[in-house]
Chain A
């Protein structure tokens, strides 16, 4: 009984640690997949290679989000627990930032906090919205509708991620870091607010 209570009390912390570890594993898996894909994409135009790499990252992130949603449903957790995917994205972003910092040790790496990290976190929030069950009375949308929503979320996240990568690599301009930061932070704020409302307040929205 006492052990159960200790486990219940420490469960949130354990989930946070597990999500952070999942983000680190996702980062490593991304590097492996992109390395395996390199011989193929290096023959393609640069924009196609950038889009392919973004596609790999988004596909793996979506896979993690779906696994997380499945775990939440099976474990009977609050539907909002799919928001842990954002925490995993932050962990991934921190590792990616560190790797960039090691390769390009300048203060410009801090721009990644506004330009790159919100792309990861925003995509994770979008997948969390799409893959989880809502907090409404109906217990979630129909499977067909959910699949369409997941596909749409993947397409949006891939296009968004690819667009920012391509612009940064092929069409940079001096104001790009500021513009990208503002646009990405606005998008991330909207997605986080939508995530909170969907899993915290949807019962009120669904009632009327």
Chain B
């Protein structure tokens, strides 16, 4: 090995050591990021439905900061001694170090020869990076352990709270069942809750009560989620989905938990039949944003529900009466509703225009023949 080659071999040795240190730092960053991400997820799931629940903006900003810390890990201050440490680790007899530190003189050739031999021995089987201290390796392993434990705890808590597997901002896929505990709305507006409860008690149970309506508590949870930015389909204008609907006024409030069994209260795609409760005699406009259940990406839209909602809207527009055939109407209910729709349409059809002279003559002849009981109307029609 010549001198130039020896210098190159030494540089390759230290570059290999530097790459080993960077690899270890990358592993440390990966463990830190994994642990931080798992703990962020865990805290978000645990704080679900509380005031301390981080917003999607905060959650994603934290995750981005965690991921974006990679350059800081890699470029964390290096120590001046790393180079010579790498050389010493490869050459216990300090032959390379002695050659590196010698600045010309009679021992140059001797040191050079010994350094070349030492480099040759050190690079047998390829250069190796110095091992990191055991304490550092244990610390990084602990980070991974914390990450794995945090991730497992997160998924258990997430599934338990109805969010399914959570890899990002936790979203509840299952609407929580109404409980007996009063919600914030119940506490803030007790008079409204009492009135709704009384109204529900007075209403007969067969009055379109096919669908148990969600509680106000569930709606409150949904409202909170509607404020979240839709990170996937922000520009998607699906009705009832995303933040676009967050500011839109709701047609009516859904009943409270105590009134969940009641009916006749308008909600998306469900209005009371015949206006018998005094609410359905409105202007016949669009009852609510129809067509989709659930929110976000958890539940795909159903074309059948959309079709029924369109039918109900057209029915209300045609008849001027808002009705509720419910989410699962019986065949008789649907038949009656369709009959009413088309009969009312027929009733609004006005046949007008010029009267055929021949028909008018026939009518006059018929009157003369059969008497004056059948008087023609103002338009000359019999």
CA distance A193 to B18 in the complex (A): 8
Q: Does B142 contact A (CB under 8 A)?
A: no
The answer to whether B64 touches A109, judged by C-beta atoms less than 8 angstroms apart, is yes
Interface membership of B282, Cβ < 8 A: no
- Identify the closest chain B residue to A203 (Cβ): B83
Complex formed: what's the CA distance from A90 to B32 in Å?
15
- Whether B71 pairs with A125 at a CB distance below 8 angstroms is yes
Partner of A203, one of B60, B64, B84, B231: B84
| CB-based nearest A residue for B76 | A83
Q: A94-B68, A97-B65, A101-B61 are in contact. Are A81 and B77 (CB under 8 A)?
A: yes
Checking B7, B77, B83 against A201 with a beta-carbon cut-off of 8 angstroms, the contacting residue is B83
Chain B 55-92 interface mask (CB, 8 Å, partner A; 1/0): 01100110011011101101111111011101100000
Report yes or no: A125 in contact with B75, Cβ–Cβ below 8 A: yes
Pair A192/B22 contact, Cβ less than 8 Å: yes
Q: Identify which of residues 165-199 in chain A touch chain B, using a CB-to-CB cut-off of 8 Å.
A: 188, 192-193, 195-197, 199
Residues of A99-116 whose CB lies within 8 A of B: 101-102, 105-107, 109-110, 112-113
Tell me the count of chain B residues lying within 8 A, CB to CB, of chain A.
40
- Given the interface contacts A110-B64, A196-B78, A200-B79, does A205 sit within 8 Å of B11 by beta carbon? yes
Q: How far is the CA of A93 from the CA of B68 in the complex (A)?
A: 8
A78 contacts across to B, CB distance below 8 A: 77-80
Given contacts A192-B22, A201-B14, A207-B101, contact A107 B231 (CB under 8 A): yes
User: At the interface, yes or no: B100 with Cβ under 8 Å from chain A?
Assistant: yes
Beyond A202-B83, A203-B84, A208-B100, whether A98 also contacts B78 by CB under 8 A is no
CA distance A196 to B21 in the complex (A): 9
Q: How far is the CA of A207 from the CA of B78 in the complex (A)?
A: 19
Inter-chain contacts of A202 with B (CB < 8 A): 83
Chain A residues, CB < 8 A from B67: 113
Chain A residue at minimal CB-CB distance from B4:
A208
| CB of A130 within 8 Å of the partner chain | no
B87 contacts A200, C-beta separation under 8 Å: no
Quick check: is B10 within 8 A (CB to CB) of the other chain? Answer: yes
Q: Which residues of A contact B57 (CB under 8 A)?
A: 98, 101-102, 105
Residues of B within 8 A of A112 (CB): 64
Q: Mask for B197-237, Cβ within 8 A of A = 1, else 0?
A: 00000000000000000000000000000000111101000
Q: Is the CB of A105 within 8 A of B10?
A: no
| Interface residue A89 (Cβ < 8 Å from any Cβ of B) | yes
A90 contacts across to B, CB distance below 8 A: 68-69, 71-72
> Which residue of A77, A94, A122 is within 8 Å of B64 (Cβ)?
A94
Q: B15 in the interface, Cβ–Cβ < 8 Å?
A: yes
Chain B residues near A118 (CB, 8 Å)?
Answer: 71
Is the pair A79, B84 in contact by a Cβ cutoff of 8 Å?
Answer: no
Q: Does chain A have a CB within 8 A of B17?
A: yes
Contact B75 A117 (CB under 8 A): no
Contact indicator per residue, chain A 64-81, by CB within 8 Å of chain B (1) or not (0): 000000000000011111
When the two chains form their complex, are residues A98 and B64 in contact, meaning their CB atoms are under 8 A apart? yes
Q: Is the CB of A101 within 8 A of B60?
A: yes
Interface flags, A139-166, vs B, CB<8A=1, else 0: 0000000000000000000000000000
Docked-complex contact B75 and A195, CB < 8 angstroms = yes
Assuming the A-B contacts A79-B80, A90-B69, A208-B7, are A197 and B234 also in contact, with contact meaning beta carbons closer than 8 angstroms in the complex? no
In the bound complex, residues from chain B placing their C-beta under 8 Å from that of A98 are 57, 61, 64-65
A86 at the interface (CB under 8 A from B): yes
- CA separation between A106 and B64, bound complex, in Å? 13
Contact among B15, B77, B231 for A83, CB-based, below 8 A: B77
Known: A84-B77, A110-B64, A204-B84. A197 touches B71 (CB 8 A): no
Given A106-B229, A196-B21, decide whether A204 and B80 contact each other with a Cβ distance below 8 A.
no
Q: Are B64 and A113 in contact (CB under 8 A)?
A: yes
Across the interface, B82 reaches (CB within 8 A) one of A105, A109, A195, A201, namely: A201
- The reply to whether B229 and A105 form a contact with Cβ atoms under 8 Å apart is yes
In the complex the two chains form, what is the Cα distance from A98 to B11 in whole Å? 41
Q: Which residues of B contact A110 (CB under 8 A)?
A: 64
Indicate if the CB atoms of B18 and A200 lie closer than 8 Å: yes
Closest to B115 in A: A208
Q: Are A204 and B64 in contact (CB under 8 A)?
A: no
Which of A80, A101, A204 has a CB less than 8 Å from the CB of B77? A80
Q: Is B79 touching A196 in the complex (CB atoms < 8 A)?
A: no
A–B complex contacts, Cβ < 8 Å, 28 sampled: A77-B77, A80-B79, A83-B77, A87-B76, A94-B61, A98-B61, A101-B60, A105-B56, A105-B229, A106-B231, A109-B64, A113-B67, A121-B72, A192-B22, A192-B74, A192-B75, A193-B22, A195-B78, A196-B18, A196-B78, A199-B77, A200-B83, A201-B83, A202-B83, A203-B83, A203-B84, A204-B84, A207-B100
| 16 extra A-B contacts, CB within 8 A, seeds A192-B71, A193-B18 | A78-B77, A78-B79, A80-B79, A83-B78, A94-B65, A98-B61, A107-B232, A188-B71, A196-B18, A196-B75, A199-B78, A200-B80, A203-B83, A204-B84, A204-B86, A205-B83
Closest 3 CB pairs of A and B: A105-B229, A200-B78, A121-B71
